[in-house]
Each structure stands twice: as C-alpha cells, then as structure tokens.
C-alpha cells in the first residue's frame, strides 16, 4: 500500500449532519491493547528477513523484556483496581475488569507468537549459521564431561534446594527469578519422603553458557543453565530420584508507593521501598509447557493466582536472557553495520581535530543535535568544559536516567569539588532506575553538590542543563535542552533531539523552571517555553485552535506531531475538532495511541503511523503550520495525561529557521516518507505495514544515518 495517502481537502471532507459527541467511548482505542500492539510491531522485526539475524533475536528479547514491564506495572495496576472494586474507566469507557480480560487474552496470543518465532524461525535460522542452543540429547561425550565439571564447580555450590515439608514451607520467590519445582521419590538420610522440592537459580549465574571452542566442531554452541541444572538435579538429592523437573517464573507488581506527604526524607523512603519491590503482589506465572496440571494448580494456589494468569511456554521461561547469546557471537555479518555518529561542523576546533570551545560556538548560533545519528559527546563535552572553565560559576541540571556509571555524574562531582555551585535535581522515582539514582544522588552530595528531588507529587521529567558563565563584566547563560535522557548508552539506541543555546529568553525561562524545582513561589509566566503541569497542555490546545482558525480563513494550516504516545482525551478531542474543520493532521506515534483515525465526520483528515526500526523512536516534536509561519517545539513530554498534568516537563521552541527546517525534515518529512518500517493505524485499531509499491523503498533511519553519521570528521576519543 502507498505510504502517503492523499488527505481529503476541505471540499472533499463530509460535513456531519449533527454535532458529534467527541466524548463517545467508541472514538477511543484502549491504551493497554494499543501498547501490546506496539510489542506486536516489535515482534514483527524478529520475523523480518531483511533484519540481520542476531538483531532479529534481539528484537525477540526486547518484546519479552517489554512484556515483563507491562505485567509489572500495567497489569499489576489493573489487578489492584479490580481488587479494590474500583469503577474507574479508561478513555474507551472500559472498567478495569473488562480491560484486564481483554489484555490477558491479547497477552496470551503475543506470548504464543513469541515462542513460535523462536522455535520455528529463529533457532532454525541460527542453526543454519552454525549458532546452536544445544539440548541435552545432543551433547557429545566430551561436552557432557565439561558440563558435569561446570555444574560441580560453578553451579552446585550456589544452589539451595528446599524440600517442602512442615519444617520447610514454600520459599518466597523473587520477582522474575528462575525457579524449578521438582517431584521426588524415595527417602533421605532422616527418613523423610517429601515428594516436592523448590529450587531457585542464583541470579549471579549466566542463563546462557557458551561451550569451549575445542568442544565445538564448527561455529558456536551454547547450553541453557536450566537444562544444566535439570540434567544434574539428581546430584542435589542423594539417594532420591527426581521424577519431574519444571522451570517456572513469577512476575510481581513492581510499582513503588511512597506517601510523599508523609515522609521527611524521600531518599530514605525510596531506599526502604526498593527492597519490597522484589516481593510485590503476584501478577503472572510462567511455566514450562510440560509442567503437569497438578503442579500448575499447586503454584497457582501458592501465589493466589487464577488460571488466566498462567502462561505455558515452549522454551526458556525468560526469553530476554537470550540477549547474552548475541553479545558472545562475533558475527558482524549477522548484526547491523557499525556507524560513527557525526558531529556538527560548528563544534569542530580550528585545528580540525577535536571539539573547540563550545561556549564560543554556541554564542555564534544555536546548535542542534540529533542522536544517535549525531554524537552525544558534545553534551558530555559541554559539561566537561563547564566543570573545568574558571569563568563558569554555577551548573544546574535535571537527571532522570543516566546509567550506573555516568561520565556526566563524574563531571558534576568534579565541578562541585572545584568549588562551583552545582545543583542537581535527581528524580528518584524514575521507574526501574530508582536504585541507580539513589546511588548517584549520594555520590553527588558527598562531592558537595546540592541535590534536590523536585516537587512532591510531580515527577521531574524535563531534560535541562543551565550553565552560568562570567564573560567580562556580565553573566551569560548557556543551556542544553533535550527530548531524551542524559544517558550515553541509550543515546546510541534512542533517537532524540538536543539544543545548545544561549538565547536570553529560553535561558530566563530555564532559570524560572529551576527556581520552581528547588525553591517555592508562584508560577512565573514563561515567554519561550511551554511547561507542564501549567502551560503545556493549554499551549497545545491553543495552537490547535489557531490552526482551525487559519484553515477557516483560507490560510496554510497543518498539524504534525511525533511522539511516543497519544492518550490524553482533551488533546485528542482538540485534534478531532481540527480534523472536523478540515485541518490536515499527521501523527507519528511510536507506541500507545488512543486516537482513532479515519472515522467519518470526526477524524478523516488524521493519519497515524508508527515507525519501528533499528533505533527506538523517542523524540517529541510538535509542528504547527501557523498560517505559513511555522512553529516547531521539541519536548520531553508525550500527549499523555501523566506528562501533561502529573509531571514537570518542558517544550522548547526551535527558533533558528535553518535548525527549525532540519527538525521538520529529519523528524517529520523523512518519517512520513518511510515505506519500509512504517505501520499505518487503521480505524479499527489494527496496524498495516506500509509497502513501497511502485515507490522506491525509503527508510527514515537509514537515510538519517547516511546524511548525518556516515563520516564523522573528527575523532572524539
């Protein structure tokens, strides 16, 4: 099918005979089902023969990891609402119980598809490339001997099997840990004849074990830890027979609850809550397909789960652990080709080698960075120069996710040790990064930095750095604003925009945002930025209404968004109204989308597409045609209730005309042309993959790699 279908002109758009109730439930798609549909699109990458084979396996692992988080947070939340008897409904007017039934059925289909892809497509394809997961039945004599020694020396000393009897109750099972339930026969040294035992695989052990090269005739061979333990389980129960050995895995609620109104120290409260995450309420049970029904029932009873919560799988109970195989196979021909991120020419030093003085470069004009096609190194270098420059007096920064070993945190520490005023807003509640953020907050405090945790009740999700530098008799403000986190590793995997600027209006607004985060006071009027929870939602609605008015008056009008999710009912209704007025609207939405495109009389001029490719699409870009004078904002916020109303977010304008045009081309035009990795949302909520047809194949991500990253002019060290 064509990638770009013609948008109806105002004359072609039918006019509704009567006003449409835009709050009608049937005009909205279910957000949880929409998120599972995103994972289906990721799984499609694992099936795509055009994707390198080991990258296909990686996409399969990603779907498994995504599904873990889906159960830990979203399914867990639905179960809580159902348990409390809540009647809270979603935008599609479904109750938690109704949504849970839908989600469970869809998740079972997705899990079955995952294992079909593994067993019927990926494992045979890997075997053809001499990459084998070797089952015990195919172990050679020499391999068996090596595996026996490995079990005796590396595995057995770490195992603690527990026989179930009145003195040994069922052990507490860690969230997402690999466990086994065993059927035993016979008596032990004390005359006990317990028929059941439970064994947990220590998390320090690798789940995928490479066999030594001398034991492999060709290529690479791996064995699974679960099968190593199963083969030698009898060694753990001398004098008894193991009649059954069945892997299982439990997923628990991993949301953390801290009553911020009732704690004096958020960091200590979060530290206390982290330990309980491992033992949250049970939400899912994964078991090996061969596990007998009576054992499944026993586990269900133990964990207070029901039959729909059981996922019987034909393979390893944790597919995401297969990611270790990818890292251990040196086959460049089976992976994406490497690339060197580019560096904007204006940042290159006069010698042509290395980066020059970034403050000088920024004073000459704003600098736009588009990761991963362009390097994240200039952001790190900006902090490095700020930390070392004697003229820099203060650094302010927000940190949401940085990674456990962050160069940026080290540079902030150095700046504080050198006596600069360093203030860091650390978001302790960044989901699944809480422990890392607690650690970095402690390290920063030890170096003398001021560390605060934002505003009670609102996550600080904005990506801001503010540097104050003395230049002559004046103080000048330099700012970095981004759509993604200050995380060097994800900057190689996620697409994001960053802006380096010393624009006085933007810098003054950033100053006011930091005052909100660190102090008290009324909401200031921002002149350049849009900020949630105050002005961002209203600012978007006002600009949508302005496009309607431009269109009514015959001026150029159009709306284009590139975001990760669209779920906010108020913004969706605004877009519906714009479509009813005839405004052309293109939405590039990576994940959840509750808006239903193509509904007669409601959304006929709205087109929605999702791009799934080598890199995770992450930037938020808001474009308004504005009567021929386009406005473009980049932002940390999606079109979601939490971003617009329950977080501190920032949308920043791209003022420089050349950079604004770059954002339009690189974030919007390229992706609207994509006909190889683009999925088009249909009115019924399904997605159809775009096909080139008679057009030349075009991949936005590949084109951006070629344009921005192919030949970096300098070595960044």
Catalytic residues, by residue number, are 461
Can you give the length of the chain in residues?
717
Question: Residues near 265 by Cβ (< 8 Å), separated by ≥ 6?
Answer: none
- Residues ≥6 apart with Cβ < 8 Å to 385: 357, 358, 359
Residues 6 or more apart whose CB falls under 8 angstroms from that of 400 comprise: 427, 430, 433, 460, 461, 463, 485, 486
Tokens of 37: 């549909």
- 354, 368, 483, 489, 515 from 344: Cα distances, Å: 12, 8, 18, 20, 32
**264/227 Cα distance (integer angstroms):** 49
Provide φ and ψ at 465, rounded to 5°.
-135, 135
Helix (H, G, I), strand (E, B) or coil at 491: helix
Residue 533 preceded by cis peptide, ω within 30: yes
Q: Which residues contact 311 (CB under 8 A, 6 or more apart)?
A: 107, 108, 111, 284, 285, 286, 287
Check residue 451 and report its DSSP letter: E
Burial track 359-368 (b if 16+ CB lie within 10 A, e otherwise): bebbeeebbb
Query: Residue 342 in contact with residue 374, Cβ under 8 Å?
Result: yes
What does the block give as tokens for 697? 């194949």
- Contacts (Cβ under 8 Å, ≥6 apart) of 274: 256, 434, 435, 438
Within 312-470, where are the H helices?
323-327, 358-364, 377-388, 407-417, 434-446
Which tokens belong to 52? 């390198």
Token code pair at residue 104: 């469970």
Which candidate, 242, 330, 251, places its Cα nearest to that of 287? 251
CA dihedral over 124, 129, 134, 140, signed as positive or negative: positive
Rounded Cα gap, residues 13 and 707, in angstroms: 38
């Amino acid at each position: 099918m064509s990638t770009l279908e013609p948008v109806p002109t105002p004359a072609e758009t039918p006019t509704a005979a009567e006003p449409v109730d835009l709050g009608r439930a049937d005009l909205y798609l279910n957000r949880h089902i929409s998120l599972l549909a995103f994972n289906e699109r990721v799984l499609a990458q694992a099936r795509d023969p055009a994707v390198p084979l080991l990258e296909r396996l990686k996409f399969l692992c990603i779907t498994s990891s995504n599904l873990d988080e889906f159960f830990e947070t979203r399914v867990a939340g639905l179960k809580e609402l159902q348990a409390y008897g809540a009647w809270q409904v979603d935008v599609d007017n479904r109750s938690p119980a109704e949504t849970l039934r839908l989600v469970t059925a869809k998740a079972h289909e997705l899990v079955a598809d995952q294992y079909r892809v593994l067993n019927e497509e990926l494992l045979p394809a890997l075997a053809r490339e001499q990459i084998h997961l070797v089952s015990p039945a195919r172990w050679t004599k020499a391999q068996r001997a090596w595996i026996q020694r490995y079990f005796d020396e590396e595995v057995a000393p770490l195992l603690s099997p527990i026989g179930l009897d009145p003195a040994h109750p069922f052990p507490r099972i860690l969230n997402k840990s690999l466990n086994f339930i065993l059927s035993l026969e016979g008596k032990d040294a004390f005359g006990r004849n317990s028929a059941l035992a439970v064994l947990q695989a220590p998390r320090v052990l690798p789940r995928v074990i490479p066999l030594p090269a001398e034991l492999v005739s060709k290529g690479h061979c791996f064995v699974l830890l679960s099968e190593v333990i199963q083969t030698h389980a009898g060694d753990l129960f001398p004098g008894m027979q193991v009649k059954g050995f069945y892997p299982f895995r439990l997923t628990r609620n991993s949301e953390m609850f801290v009553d911020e109104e009732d704690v004096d120290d958020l960091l200590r409260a979060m530290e206390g809550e982290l330990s309980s995450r491992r033992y949250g309420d049970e939400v899912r049970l994964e078991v090996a397909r061969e596990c007998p029904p009576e054992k499944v029932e026993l586990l269900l009873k133990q964990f207070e789960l029901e039959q729909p919560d059981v996922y019987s799988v034909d393979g390893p109970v944790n597919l995401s652990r297969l990611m270790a195989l990818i890292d251990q196979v040196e086959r460049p021909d089976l992976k994406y080709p490497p690339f060197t991120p580019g560096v904007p020419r204006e940042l290159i030093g006069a010698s042509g080698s290395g980066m020059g003085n970034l403050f000088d470069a920024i004073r000459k004009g704003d600098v736009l960075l588009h990761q991963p096609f362009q390097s994240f190194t200039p952001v790190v270098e900006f902090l490095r120069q700020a930390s070392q420059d004697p003229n820099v007096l203060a650094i302010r920064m927000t940190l949401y996710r940085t990674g456990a070993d962050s160069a940026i945190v080290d540079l902030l520490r150095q700046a504080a040790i050198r006596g600069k005023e360093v203030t860091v807003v650390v978001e302790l509640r960044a989901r699944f990064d809480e422990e890392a953020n607690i650690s970095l907050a402690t390290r920063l405090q030890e170096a003398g930095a001021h560390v605060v945790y934002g505003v009670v009740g609102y996550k600080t999700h904005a990506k801001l750095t503010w540097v104050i530098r003395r230049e002559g008799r004046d103080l000048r403000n330099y700012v970095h604003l981004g759509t993604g986190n200050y995380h060097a590793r994800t900057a190689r995997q996620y697409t994001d925009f960053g802006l380096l600027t010393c624009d006085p209006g933007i810098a003054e607004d950033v100053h006011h945002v930091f005052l909100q985060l660190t102090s008290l006071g009324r909401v200031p009027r921002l002149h350049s930025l849009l900020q949630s929870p105050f002005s961002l939602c209203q600012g978007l609605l006002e600009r949508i209404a302005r496009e309607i008015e431009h269109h009514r008056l015959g001026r150029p009008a159009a709306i284009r968004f590139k975001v990760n999710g669209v779920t906010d009912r108020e913004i969706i209704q605004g877009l519906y109204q714009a479509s009813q007025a005839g405004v052309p609207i293109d939405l590039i939405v990576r994940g959840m989308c509750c808006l239903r495109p193509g509904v007669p009389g409601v959304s006929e001029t709205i087109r929605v597409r999702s791009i799934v490719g080598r890199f995770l699409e992450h930037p938020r870009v808001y474009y308004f045609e504005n009567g021929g004078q386009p406005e473009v904002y980049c932002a940390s916020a999606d079109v979601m209730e939490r971003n617009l109303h329950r977080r501190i977010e920032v949308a920043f304008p791209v003022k420089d005309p050349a950079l604004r045009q770059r954002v339009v081309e690189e974030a919007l035009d390229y992706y609207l042309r994509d006909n190889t990795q683009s999925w088009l949302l249909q009115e019924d909520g399904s997605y159809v993959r775009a096909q080139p047809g008679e057009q030349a194949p075009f991949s936005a991500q590949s084109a951006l790699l070629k344009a921005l990253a192919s030949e970096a002019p300098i070595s960044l060290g």
